[in-house]
């Protein structure tokens, strides 16, 4: 679908979106005190590119950051290039966008960044090349929102983050037989790097459980790719 469809979606869901005053606004807090403490200014920098090398925990932390932005009265959007982000908190909270191609993912990300109505925009599942990174960084500067790309390529990034789950970092809830049954918490190591500066911290994060819809549920879309009954095909949509 063309960019006009994405613009219409933004106008319908966020009719009062206005450019952020990023020169005076505080960084976007993640809502995780241990992480905000080591980040410059106490959060993700606005109008700049942050690159996050995902080795474990990145999705959970950035989901919390998106929810924190919405809870603070701002807006957040996640461009899910692989279509693998799920959870019940996207319906009324951050905007989750699932593009159908790499091209539309990058153009949609640029549009969301440049519109100025989002405090945080996250891009996952797509690897921008050098020219595309320049365009997205310029759009973030114009719109004033924090831009985080989950990618191993750190070119032009003002802030670089790496996260990984520590060995034996899972805290398990035992079964009635005393065996590990369900993860309760995970210990994650986060490294933050910038020009001439670095810091790290360990985070102990709770693990939430939610049931995914399956084909066995009557009247619900088959997540294996088969639609339950006639359904209008659209390219950009918010997650249910």
Q: The domain 3-14+28-160: what is its CATH number?
A: 3.40.50.300
Q: Could you give the angle at which helices 102-115 and 3-13 cross, rounded to 10 degrees?
A: 40
What pLDDT is recorded for position 174? 80
The mean pLDDT value for 17-26 works out to 52
Percent of the chain exceeding pLDDT 90 equals 47
Contacts 24+ apart (CB under 8 A), 130-136: 130/155, 132/106, 133/49, 135/110, 136/49, 136/106, 136/109, 136/110
Contacts of 219 (CB under 8 A, 6+ apart): 228, 229
Tell me the pLDDT tens digit for each residue of 96-113: 998 989 999 999 999 999
What pLDDT is recorded for position 238? 43
Residues 43 and 32: their CA atoms lie apart, in Å, by 9
pTM for the full model? Answer: 0.75
What pLDDT is recorded for position 155? 79
Domain residue limits, the chain: 3-14+28-160
Residues 198 and 146: their CA atoms lie apart, in Å, by 19
CB atoms within 10 A of CB 160: 17
Tell me the pLDDT tens digit for each residue of 156-195: 899 999 999 888 888 888 877 777 777 788 899 999 998 8
């Amino acid at each position: 679908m063309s960019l006009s469809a994405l613009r219409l979606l933004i106008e319908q869901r966020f009719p009062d979106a206005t450019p952020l005053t990023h020169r005076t606004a505080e960084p976007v807090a993640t809502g995780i005190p241990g992480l905000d403490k080591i980040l410059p200014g106490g959060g993700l920098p606005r109008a700049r590119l942050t690159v996050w090398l995902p080795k474990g925990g990145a999705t959970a932390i950035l989901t919390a950051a998106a929810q924190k932005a919405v809870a603070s009265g701002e807006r957040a959007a996640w461009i899910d290039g692989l279509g693998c982000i799920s959870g019940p908190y996207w319906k009324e909270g951050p905007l989750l966008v699932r593009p159908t191609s790499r091209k539309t993912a990058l153009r949609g990300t640029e549009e969301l960044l440049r519109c100025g109505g989002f405090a945080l925009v996250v891009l996952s599942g797509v690897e921008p090349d050098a020219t595309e990174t320049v365009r997205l960084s310029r759009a973030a500067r114009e719109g004033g929102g924090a831009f985080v790309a989950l990618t191993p390529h750190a070119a032009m990034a003002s802030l670089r983050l790496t996260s990984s789950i520590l060995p034996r970092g899972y805290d398990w809830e035992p079964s009635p037989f005393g065996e590990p049954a369900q993860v309760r918490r995970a210990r994650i190591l986060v490294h933050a790097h910038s020009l001439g500066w670095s810091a790290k911290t360990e985070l102990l994060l709770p693990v939430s459980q939610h049931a995914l819809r399956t084909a066995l549920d009557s009247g619900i879309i088959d997540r294996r790719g088969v639609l339950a009954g006639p359904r209008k095909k659209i390219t950009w949509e918010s997650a249910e």
